[in-house]
Structure 1
């Protein structure tokens, strides 16, 4: 086994947390919280990741408020689900793993009717294509009170997460959700202190980071998922992404999970491989939305050739910009690729589809060493499986999932 691969499998520290290795199960929305409550499927899912040997498993999309959800069956962090959160963390710890919660807010990108406001809100007024056929076709612009309330909600959610036994928090600043909407020049058209220059567009993400840090303390690990690029010309590009990373580093962030793409426009920039649209369409419950997906969804979900380590060149630029730990994500499919990532100075490695296919991957890597290669075919049907009963799964392991 190469020194680089061996190093990934050794214990490592992330702020005040000791991890058994440098492998992270990245946040991939599970679809396992019926009615917004963490279910047994969610517990089994993350227990399997921990049992398989991953250092840190990440619970995806933990909304910080009811109006921060894209649809009703997502989890939001409140005292009513505290016992389920405690059980989730206890089971993962019992399997020898550590667990992180990804705190998120959808901004304007929602099909969920907000409780106290007439429409979902983000940095600027806009067409809400995701809610077009659900009666909320327009997103509004957040005002000062909205911003202050949202920052406080992140802090409250962080306190709940820490008290429930989670070991780390990932603040979602990517993929076109609220904080990403503020960062992206294509989505933020404000003319006040929260728009215009990158310093202004980073103001809310930095305020959220400061509030979360104040809620959990100095040694509690805080990561952020940040786009390297939005994946289209008018969006965030790598140069500004690197500047954003520098600002986050200066503000005390512990690590960045590097990613890319907007769910609303360029999801295949993140996934690569075969489009899951064919499997997604029949699962859509809204007939108008289903028809729109069938006829126009190909523009957002085209096949996009998979290549191993597809974010590496962009990630290298961020590596040259900051000294903080960086988590590489994107197209890791072999032991050779893992070793290259480690050799190029990335402290941690995040995996999604490869671990969905085989939660025992870390243990298998110990035995197979340099010969390991993922059997994931990058068909991306796991993306569609989020809408199936029981939530996300690798369809190679369940070939009748879409029968």
Structure 2
């Protein structure tokens, strides 16, 4: 169970190892289309040794973006996406497209489309109530996910990851706090899970066994009244029974209410306050401390929750959260997780996997400061990376003792 760097099957595809670059906003698509900068971002981590890298965020509709600069899946995007997938394949890695709809996390003011929510909510970004989709419109959203998956296949992707986390649209339907509908998409856990199941089945039907189909699922929202581990386990069991998914990537937290449950470590409140667009900046000054809570960093910090899913499910699972060294990867395999996913550590060191392969005692230089989070608007990056253009503006870091600065 310590075969991290040997080939592994993920549905119909084979990855060269069991490490996946998790989806992180790249901030490199100013015209909502692929750029050379975005290609270089993914090519670098592919060259660094991951089995698969994940392109985020490929919205299924223009109104499903967190801002208008993000890619949304349409025919115009295919040529650039083909260049990206070819570049990743040239480095020996597979590549996945994260597809979904941001729902209540969408920026209606930026997108110039209404944000969507399962029930009536006020959007602090759009400064107006969100739109509540009717049942026929929900059907259109399901179909949009299938279309996005077909476009991903046309673009040369090996896999698609459906976003069922962080209180994006599908996740918001799963939340009893956010979903107060009285139709067949609201009320009971089974009804609230209906959208996720319909999307997964539609995507599977669209791509068959030609692409791997995974989903990023919230284990819990981390807010009072939100989705709990117990309910999420029921949802996961239904998704497994439906047979549309090749793996689940387990996550946690709410981009609306508690994002730091996913990003353990220092909460970069001051940095976020500087970069948020108005009016969000003004509101952040009032609620920043309660919105960006602080959770101490430790390796494999989502493992305790994920163990419940490993015990209950037989399908492949991807462990996310605090995976930075070989010992933790081996722990994940020993616990029965088929794959691990990394993000921040690869922002700091895109070649970390090659370093670990050559020297098993290698430790990540990531200090879990989360200062990379506010850079999502201008090009996601680690400010402490040695070749970063802003390194001169940041204090020196002793990468040999990251725990002292965590």
TM-score bracket, shorter-length normalisation: over 0.9
Matched, 1:241 2:237: no
User: How many aligned residue pairs are there?
Assistant: 390
Work out the CA distance in 2 between the residues paired with 1:227 and 1:372.
30
Tell me the alpha carbon deviations over residues 352-382 of structure 1, each in whole angstroms, 9 at most, x when there is no partner: 111111111111111111x121110000011
Do the aligned partners of 1:274 and 1:304 also contact (CA within 8 Å) in 2? yes
The CA RMSD over aligned residues, in Å, is: 1.6
Match of 1:126 among 121, 130, 151: 121
Match of 2:13?
Answer: 17
Match of 1:279?
Answer: 271
Match of 2:294 among 276, 291, 303: 303
Which piece of structure 1 moves more, 183-192 or 329-338?
329-338
Do the aligned partners of 2:49 and 2:353 also contact (CA within 8 Å) in 1? yes
What is the DSSP-based 3-state SS (H/G/I as helix, E as strand, rest coil) of the residue aligned with 2:50?
A: coil
How far does residue 401 in structure 1 lie from its aligned partner after superposition? Answer: 6.2
Match of 1:59?
Answer: 55
Pairwise mapping of residues 188-337 of structure 1 onto structure 2 (< 5 A)?
A: 188-252=179-243, 253-286=245-278, 288-337=279-328
Work out the CA distance in 2 between the residues paired with 1:93 and 1:314.
34
How far does residue 219 in structure 1 lie from its aligned partner after superposition? Answer: 4.3
How far does residue 196 in structure 1 lie from its aligned partner after superposition? Answer: 1.0
Using structure 2 for the length normalisation, give the TM-score.
0.93
Work out the CA distance in 2 between the residues paired with 1:251 and 1:218.
15
What is the DSSP-based 3-state SS (H/G/I as helix, E as strand, rest coil) of the residue aligned with 2:205?
A: helix
Work out the CA distance in 2 between the residues paired with 1:69 and 1:291.
22
What is the DSSP-based 3-state SS (H/G/I as helix, E as strand, rest coil) of the residue aligned with 1:100?
A: strand
Work out the CA distance in 1 between the residues paired with 2:152 and 2:75.
10
Tell me the alpha carbon deviations over residues 35-67 of structure 1, each in whole angstroms, 9 at most, x when there is no partner: 211111110010011101100100011100011
Match of 1:78?
Answer: 74
Match of 1:45?
Answer: 41
Work out the CA distance in 1 between the residues paired with 2:104 and 2:348.
33
What is the DSSP-based 3-state SS (H/G/I as helix, E as strand, rest coil) of the residue aligned with 1:310?
A: coil
Which 5+ residue runs of structure 1 have no aligned equivalent? none
Match of 2:143?
Answer: 152
Work out the CA distance in 1 between the residues paired with 2:235 and 2:140.
23
Match of 1:181 among 154, 159, 172: 172
Match of 2:340 among 349, 352, 363: 349
Work out the CA distance in 1 between the residues paired with 2:235 and 2:370.
30
How far does residue 199 in structure 1 lie from its aligned partner after superposition? Answer: 1.0
Match of 2:398?
Answer: none
Do the aligned partners of 1:66 and 1:114 also contact (CA within 8 Å) in 2? no
Match of 2:383?
Answer: 395
Do the aligned partners of 2:298 and 2:322 also contact (CA within 8 Å) in 1? yes
Which 5+ residue runs of structure 2 have no aligned equivalent? 396-406
Work out the CA distance in 2 between the residues paired with 1:216 and 1:401.
47
What is the DSSP-based 3-state SS (H/G/I as helix, E as strand, rest coil) of the residue aligned with 1:218?
A: coil
Do the aligned partners of 1:279 and 1:402 also contact (CA within 8 Å) in 2? no
Using structure 1 for the length normalisation, give the TM-score.
0.93
Match of 2:131 among 134, 137, 140: 140
Match of 1:374 among 361, 364, 370: 364
Work out the CA distance in 2 between the residues paired with 1:289 and 1:225.
26
Do the aligned partners of 2:51 and 2:93 also contact (CA within 8 Å) in 1? yes
What is the DSSP-based 3-state SS (H/G/I as helix, E as strand, rest coil) of the residue aligned with 2:330?
A: helix
Tell me the alpha carbon deviations over residues 110-155 of structure 1, each in whole angstroms, 9 at most, x when there is no partner: 22349896x32221111223x2xx4x33112110121011111111
Do the aligned partners of 1:108 and 1:140 also contact (CA within 8 Å) in 2? no
